[in-house]
Every structure is written in C-alpha cells, then in structure tokens.
Structure 1
C-alpha cells in the first residue's frame, strides 16, 4: 500500500516542493550603470532603488519572492557595459535588467537586450535611439526622452521670439541628439530663427573660457544649453565672470536637477529657464511622502536621480505583479499600458514605443540664501510632449 501511495503521489509531491522552493527564492535583477564616471547623479539614483528594494522586500517581495539586485559598474564605456551585462546573464542567470545613464552606453545595452532577448528597463538615458530608430520590444524607458525634454524647452522658447540662437552641448549621443532636436522643433515653431553659434566640447573636457568668448563674439539673443555636472559648473562660472548671461536668455535642459543646481551654490544662474525637480516645494501627497521617507532613511534630501531610481524599481515590481512571472515575454506583455504610481504622479508605459509618460518640472532659476532654486515652475506631463503616433511609427520600425 505504501509503495502504491508513493508511486501515485510522489511526482505531485516533488512538483509541489519544487514550486514552494521556487516561490521562496529570489528574483534576480541585473543593474548596470556608470557610477564611477557620474557619481553626482548616480550615487543618489542608487539610494533611490535601494530604498525601493527595501520597501518591496519588507512588504513580502513580489510573487512571493524577494528582489535581489545585482549591480555592476560599466565605467561609462559601452564595451564594458555589454561585458558586465553578459556576465550577469551567463554567471548569475539574470534575464531582467534595469539601469543606464549615459546615452551612448544605453544604445549598446539596448542592442544587448535584443540579442539576448532579455527585458531591460532604462531609468534615465535620454537618447531617442533606444526607443525609436534602434528600439526593440525588450527595451522600455521610464524617464523622459531627449525629444520630450527638448520639446518642453522649445515650446517655452518659441513664446519669447528670440531670433539669434547659440547652442552649447557635450559632443556625444545625448548632446548631439538634443541639439538637433531643438533646432528642428524651434525652426518649425519660429521659421525666422537663426543659429549663429554652436559649441560642442568633449564630455568632461570643457574649455569654458574659449566657449564663453566664442558666444560673446557671436552675440546671440538666447542660448540652448545641455552641459551638466562639472562641465556646467565651469561654463556657469566663466559666463558669470564675463557677464555673458546679463543680456542673454538661457534655456537649459538639465540645470534644474538638484544634482547639478545644488553644487553651483551662490553662482546658480539666476533667470535661466530649466527643467528639473524642485523637491522642496512640490506639495503633492505623493512627493511629500517620498521626500519624508527618503530624508528619514538617508538623512539627506532626494535628487532627481533618487526619484528615478526609486520609480524604476517600483515600475519593475508593478510589471512583475501584472505579468505573474519574471520571464521576458510575460513582462513585455505586462508593460503594454502599465500604469505606475510615482512621486511625480501616475505614469503609463505607452504600447507604441515602450516609453513612459513621466514628465518634468519647467521653471526658472532663482537665488535664495546663497543657493539656487526653481521658481515659477509647472509640471509638464510627458504625454503632452511626445510626437503623434503617426510620426512615432515612422521613427520606430517594427522589430
């Protein structure tokens, strides 16, 4: 009788035990980023996703399993990024990834995701290539694209009817794409605009004196700026000392982010029109809850990177719940129209291009107590600054 019982029930028992062990295991998630190269942004970004991981796991995880993030540094190099992503794939069995900051690195990781058929959620890189011209079904993005960020500023710039424009941007994927998009969008809104100067220094190697003098010589009415980090600091310092900004309106794509505005201190460029994250005065329940929890955990205030890292991992968790599985194909289906609550409010991942509708705050830089702040700002919903679906279908071939 006992042998018959074993023959009858042992297979089912094995399956049940295996299922229980599987449920009690972890969901491994790979994270690849340029921490050594861009710590001013990514140190806070890492805190954000670590905070989200702690929250999710403290609440029982996802699908009965804890999330285990295995993070690797890519040295800001596309080749290194693919190498460490491959190591996570082959040695750790990772099939689910997030991360990415530098746009040229993101392009390489997007190609990796397609070749390996793994799910990849980018939090930050702005390059349009990863969702449009070189987009693929495995790649999704949370933060606004270059097009979306530039469109916010181009719409505002067109209202002020400045005719002579200069552009300053880092000479790599993000800067090149932002400059080209700004020229195209502004020209479409204001056909008589002139672009009288264009400065594109290598990333991290800004000769601020030479750039400032070239802009002074060109005598623009307005400047579109994409510099960030230490490059931005050098440019602002030199421009202030030579009074470049006294009679020129500057529209800046990244300056309003606390990561880049805070270090400028009393040198913050008053009157610049910027996109960013004024965490200190956004009075929504979602943001206040996030800021309070972040300050309690880290004894520090959040930056935009903190919000993006936090929201990226929570987006993955929400997608996993909807998919019911960490398998790439299940996640691809789950992310179509996925709605996620973030400190900026609810966002939706668009089925057309796997881009979320997360927006940004648009406002002006002001000085208070020797620090830069965003004032007169408003939230621009990402859904309002994406191209029409017909244009998206042309930009994004079926893949």
Structure 2
C-alpha cells in the first residue's frame, strides 16, 4: 500500500479543521427595515439600540457560536419601498428573516409579505392592532405594546376625569385611525356618559395646526384625545397653547411622554397631559440601570424609547434563534411562540395565541422641569395586564 506523504496528511487535516470551523461559526444574516430618513428622531436611537445589542450578542459568542449580521434598509415611510427592500433582503442578500418597521401601514405591508412569502417577520414599532389580530398571520410577531394596550392604559386614567364631552385629533392613516377607534370603545365602555363631539384627521406630517385647533375649539370639548406625534405634535402644542385650546381642558395623549417627541418642545411642553412614554430619568430597576449605563457609556447621551425598542428587538431575535437552533421559518415561528426573555423593562413574553409581546409602557403626566418637558407621577403598566385573554385574542385572528 503506497504511503501518503506527511505534508499531504497535514494539509488534509488543516482543511478539515477549517471546514469544521466554518460549520461551527457561521454567519446568520437578519434583514432589518425601518423609516430612517422619514422619522430620524425615533429611528436613529432605535438603530443605536439594536447595534448595541448586536455587539453584546456577538461579543458573548453569538448564538450557538454563530455570528449575527444585520443588513439594514430604509423604507422612507412607504409601504412600496418596504416591500422592495424586503424582496432585496430575502432574494438578494439571503437573510434568514425580517425585523423592524415603524409606521403601521408599512408594518401591515411587511406582515402581508411575510405571509405570502412564508418568511418570519419580527415587527418592532408598528402599533396597529390589525398586525396581530384581524390581519394577524402565522409568520408575524410584534414587540411594542399595541394601540389596544396603550389605549387601555390611558382609558383607565381618562375614566377618572369628570370630562364628558371629548374631541379627538389623530393622523389620518392606520395608526391614528386604530388608536382613536379603540380608545373610544374602551372609554365609552367604562364611561357610558361620554359624548364624542368632534374629530380632526390631519395627514401625517402635514398638520395645519391653526385650522385643526380652531375646528376642535368650536366643538367645545371638556377633554381632548391626541394621537399626533413628531413635528405635528410640536405644531399642535404651540398653536393650541397660543389659542388657549388646552386651558381648563384635560388632554390624554398617545406617545407624548416619549423623549423623542417631548424633548423638542423644551419649556413649551404641555403641563398636566396624561400620556404614555419613557421617563428614563426616574426608572430605578436593576435591569434598566444596567441598560442605561451601557447605553450612556457607549453613546454619551441618554436613551430614547427607540433605543429600548431596537435593543429589545435584537435581543428577542437572538433569543428566538437560540431556541430554534435553526433558521428555517417554521423553526423560528415555533420558537417565538410563547418565548420569554428579559428586557430593560423586565421580563416579557411573546404570546403564542396572538404573537403579541407583553412589553409594557409608562403612564404619567407631563410637566416642565429645568426648562424641558418631563414625565412625572409615572407608573409602569405591564403589557400583559392590558391584553384580552389569549383565548379571546386567538378568536380575533383569521384562521390560518
């Protein structure tokens, strides 16, 4: 039998070792899509959040030794651009699954894409209830507390107000329409004496503050529900205060306590509004303290709610991959159903029945302190306490 030269044996062993190393330490690509150019106040902190989490995960050895890589695309706030990005990521980049989304109409488009293409989609920000209920599907999961959850938190406080005549202001697209509808339903159930006397539906990002304020004032409401955010919120607050719209009236407002939207108002921030938000400066839990220190050490600035969403979304993705032990779609769906993990706000679960996470939100009132807007009298509301039962939620979903 001919002898094999020692150099050939060594080369073969080296090749085998390299091949084994490649097998053990692969790269898992994740496709991420968001409205970076449209709403940077939220999406840039969001990007910083997931980047920090990604580095933590890979520094700790990745997932089962595999490195995670995120390939990110901007959807410009347009469903059509989001679908193009999704197709590029799946077909061109070979990503294992999709995550992200900000606007509700974009999120619904990505969820439908996931359903049609049988791709796992982990949504972060889109808040419409349709995403997990009436248009929910087998492949889509959502992190943030939904319109229903935040409306239930706010309605609980609104029901304590003496106000009977209510008016609403909300952007005229899926998020605003859904938020108003569910808040009306929940508050009316708690307070049958409430009367809805007026509504304004400005286009997102194009609010004519003078006209909206004048129209709402004409209805003479006792209280106002506001769902505008970003630049529209700034316009509404300034014009409303100038014209006395908020004087001696209660205001309940989605999202206004988030630093992304409250900080730009500075000392013009409204006082006494009941809001959902993120008072990072008053949270003392160990989980949040660790997150806050790491974030400030890395970026030399405080986090925003987008930071929490991005960080927790990336940690959720890693936990799902780790549990699945594979990246095929069905393994990811099975792993995500009912999975629990820790977040800077405490433990959360992605419910198996409707794929909604139990991440909660803070509720409090707005104030001005040291020349800037803040939240005071804040309470963390656990998301699971403001959801219908899993059996009821399952009945709201279409049959797969």
Q: 1:167 to 1:330 in 2, by over 3 A?
A: same
Where 2:22 maps in the other structure, the secondary structure is helix
Give the match for residue 234 of structure 2.
Answer: 233
1:393 deviation in Å?
2.5
The whole-number CA distance in structure 1 between the counterparts of 2:256 and 2:289 is: 22
**CA contact under 8 A between 2:90 and 2:97: conserved in structure 1?**
no
Q: 1:269 to 1:27 in 2, by over 3 A?
A: same
The whole-number CA distance in structure 2 between the counterparts of 1:20 and 1:159 is: 62
The whole-number CA distance in structure 1 between the counterparts of 2:139 and 2:307 is: 24
Give the match for residue 8 of structure 1.
Answer: none
Where 1:375 maps in the other structure, the secondary structure is strand
Where 1:67 maps in the other structure, the secondary structure is strand
Give the match for residue 110 of structure 2.
Answer: 109
1:397 aligns with 2:398: yes
The whole-number CA distance in structure 1 between the counterparts of 2:106 and 2:115 is: 15
1:77 deviation in Å?
0.7
Query: Any unmatched runs of 5+ in structure 1?
Result: 5-12
- Of the structure 1 ranges 266-275 and 92-101, higher mean CA displacement relative to structure 2 is found in 92-101
Q: 1:385 to 1:2 in 2, by over 3 A?
A: farther
The whole-number CA distance in structure 2 between the counterparts of 1:213 and 1:292 is: 45
1:272 aligns with 2:260: no
1:299 deviation in Å?
0.7
Q: 1:165 to 1:288 in 2, by over 3 A?
A: same
Q: What's the CA shift string for 1:124-161, capped at 9, x where partnerless?
A: 11011111111111111111011111111111111224
The whole-number CA distance in structure 1 between the counterparts of 2:226 and 2:130 is: 21
**CA contact under 8 A between 2:166 and 2:197: conserved in structure 1?**
yes
Where 2:99 maps in the other structure, the secondary structure is strand
Q: 1:27 to 1:3 in 2, by over 3 A?
A: farther
1:63 deviation in Å?
1.6
Give the match for residue 244 of structure 2.
Answer: 243
TM (norm. structure 1) is: 0.95
- Of the structure 1 ranges 128-137 and 199-208, higher mean CA displacement relative to structure 2 is found in 128-137
TM (norm. structure 2) is: 0.95
Give the match for residue 197 of structure 2.
Answer: 196
1:364 aligns with 2:380: no
Give the match for residue 263 of structure 2.
Answer: 262
1:227 deviation in Å?
0.2
1:330 deviation in Å?
1.1
Q: 1:380 to 1:18 in 2, by over 3 A?
A: same
**CA contact under 8 A between 1:144 and 1:359: conserved in structure 2?**
yes
Give the match for residue 149 of structure 1.
Answer: 150
Where 1:245 maps in the other structure, the secondary structure is coil
The whole-number CA distance in structure 2 between the counterparts of 1:326 and 1:51 is: 22
The whole-number CA distance in structure 2 between the counterparts of 1:323 and 1:215 is: 51
Give the match for residue 92 of structure 2.
Answer: 91
Backbone CA RMSD of aligned residues: 1.8
1:246 deviation in Å?
1.3
The whole-number CA distance in structure 2 between the counterparts of 1:305 and 1:95 is: 24
Where 1:129 maps in the other structure, the secondary structure is helix
Q: 1:374 to 1:3 in 2, by over 3 A?
A: farther
Give the match for residue 9 of structure 1.
Answer: none
The number of residue pairs the alignment matches comes to 393
**CA contact under 8 A between 1:161 and 1:190: conserved in structure 2?**
no
Give the match for residue 354 of structure 1.
Answer: 355
The whole-number CA distance in structure 2 between the counterparts of 1:147 and 1:3 is: 75
**CA contact under 8 A between 2:354 and 2:390: conserved in structure 1?**
no
1:16 deviation in Å?
8.2
Q: 1:3 to 1:146 in 2, by over 3 A?
A: farther
The whole-number CA distance in structure 2 between the counterparts of 1:121 and 1:199 is: 32
1:171 deviation in Å?
0.2
